Structure 1
Amino acid sequence: MYYEDPILKLEDFSLNIGNTKILKNLDLDIYPGEIILLYGPRNSGKSSLLRSFVHLNEELYNNVEGVGGIYFLGKSVFDLDRKYLRSQITYSDPTFVENLNFLTLKEILNLSLGLKLKDISKEYFSILEKLGISKIFSDLDNLKEYNSLKNWSIGEKISLITFISLARRPKVFIFDSILDHLDDFLLEDVKDILYRIKEDRTLIISTRNFSLFSDIAERVVFLDDGKISFAGKTESFIINYPK
């Protein structure tokens, strides 16, 4: 039982893009301190739903229409300033990895965090260490070599995106399939970090690989053909929905 008001709420929400109804009459409450696993097959509407929380569909497609309500801390996201909304809810997906190729390390840290390389604190370095990329920041020679993000591996880029998300200290983290691309060892370290910070934050992890995150998620939202087919405890989903 939850005693707090939901931090995110869907109320009979539907999403149309062009002539296609992507999401259909969704109702869902998400609470502070939860780790939610958004699970479902390809083209089930997972990314469209997650982008709806931060008004991102409108920047990617023409003729986007949301019907019903989406609320952040009780206020309609349609009435909130997008810059403010995205400072409170961070969203990342695999396209972010590709976009990093057009920036340098200095540029991405300055644009995302207003941070200079020389100002990285012990707290930040500890997170970088846990994410397996602290070596890049350990001396000037490494910084020169890695300043071009084209020289980074996919895993290193995902770790950097995860670091930026953590360092911004939002109220809600949304990882849209991006963590699926980490190797097993790094994934365990990332999950450990996410689990430790969840007390005063909310995490939504979208995946098509249920087993990767079922050990840290309290609830599963199963999306299929734009509809929520299940929303409940992970243990109940495991029993009732064979993978």
Structure 2
Amino acid sequence: MNIDKPQISLKNISKKYGNHKILENINLDIYEGDFICIFGKSGGGKTTLLNIIGTLEEYDEGELICFSKHNPIRNGKESELLRRYKIAYLFQNFALVDNMTVQENLNLAVKYSRSTDKKSIIKKALMNMGIEDKLKSKIFELSGGEQQRVALARNMVKPYEIMLADEPTGSLDSENKKIVIDTLVKLNKLGKTIIVVSHDKEFEKIAHKNYIIENGTLKKLEFAVEK
């Protein structure tokens, strides 16, 4: 674990939509093994910040260093490779292909794995999420909680060092919420970096570092859990 050099560093990042500045002079260093949660009001910039961290969205000012790549362009080759091999996403809307099966969705991600036994990787991920019996099910046949578990399994079969999660428990019942949170904690203990944006106060008890976005600025909160 490298605690001297950040995996991702944001320096004076600003972003506006039209005349509205959504983010202003954001500074944040993300280190290997961090578990970070960012809170804030709806529409306050949390998802925008997460997208900038993950090279999914451009910014207007500042500097982004992502795994030693300086200011990678969203549609550029460097960003494509970062998203393929370094960064995994857990989207609020799951971002699964509805008319494909669970297996077909995971096949789209596992193709980037260097393992020669990709079937075993998929089987293990689905077992870890308790949905191995859903392998042949179409996504549209699954509940929201099951879809979120498939989305987590999809991330687990691809190469990544950091997982970005946008409101990962936002629409889940208590059972699925516990499964998702427990899985994120387990992945973090295995060395993965986890960045969550959420309204869910449960993450206050889990994250090593907690922040809040207020009026476009990022402020560190005092409560946190020791690594």
TM range, smaller chain:
0.7 to 0.9
Match of residue 123, structure 2, among 111, 122, 125: 125
Structure 2 partner of 1:164: 154
Partner Cα separation in structure 2 for residue 77 and residue 85 of structure 1: 12
Tell me how many residue pairs correspond in the alignment. 216
The one-letter amino acid of 2:60's match is G
Partner Cα separation in structure 1 for residue 200 and residue 221 of structure 2: 17
Q: Secondary structure, in 3 states, of the residue corresponding to 2:205?
A: coil
* 1:37 Cα deviation after fit: 0.7
TM-score, normalization: structure 1? 0.78
* 1:218 Cα deviation after fit: 0.8
**Per-residue CA shift, 1:90-129, capped at 9, x if unaligned?**
12322335x53243434322222229xx9531x5434323
Q: Which moved more, 1:18-27 or 1:49-58?
A: 49-58
5+ residue gaps in structure 2? none
Q: Secondary structure, in 3 states, of the residue corresponding to 1:192?
A: helix
5+ residue gaps in structure 1? 59-64, 138-142, 236-243
Runs of 4+ in 1 over 6 A off after TM superposition: none
Structure 1 position 190 matched with structure 2 position 189: no
Partner Cα separation in structure 1 for residue 9 and residue 222 of structure 2: 15
Structure 1 position 177 matched with structure 2 position 167: yes
Partner Cα separation in structure 1 for residue 81 and residue 216 of structure 2: 28
**Per-residue CA shift, 1:127-146, capped at 9, x if unaligned?**
32332211223xxxxx2xx1
Contact 1:90 1:173 in 2 (8 A): yes
Contact 2:110 2:122 in 1 (8 A): no
Match of residue 196, structure 2, among 189, 192, 205: 205
Partner Cα separation in structure 2 for residue 18 and residue 104 of structure 1: 40
Q: Secondary structure, in 3 states, of the residue corresponding to 1:188?
A: helix
Q: Secondary structure, in 3 states, of the residue corresponding to 1:135?
A: helix
Larger radius of gyration: 1
Q: CA RMSD in A?
A: 2.6
**Per-residue CA shift, 1:180-236, capped at 9, x if unaligned?**
3332223323333322222422100110122x222221110111222112255526x
Identity of aligned residues (%): 25
Contact 2:33 2:191 in 1 (8 A): yes
Partner Cα separation in structure 1 for residue 204 and residue 219 of structure 2: 17
Contact 2:204 2:223 in 1 (8 A): no
Partner Cα separation in structure 2 for residue 154 and residue 100 of structure 1: 14
The one-letter amino acid of 1:128's match is L
TM-score, normalization: structure 2? 0.83
The one-letter amino acid of 2:109's match is S
Alignment of 1:1-243 (within 5 A): 3-57=3-57, 65-78=59-72, 81-87=78-84, 88-97=86-95, 99-114=96-111, 119-121=118-120, 124-137=122-135, 143=136, 146=137, 148-198=138-188, 199-210=190-201, 212-231=202-221, 233-234=223-224
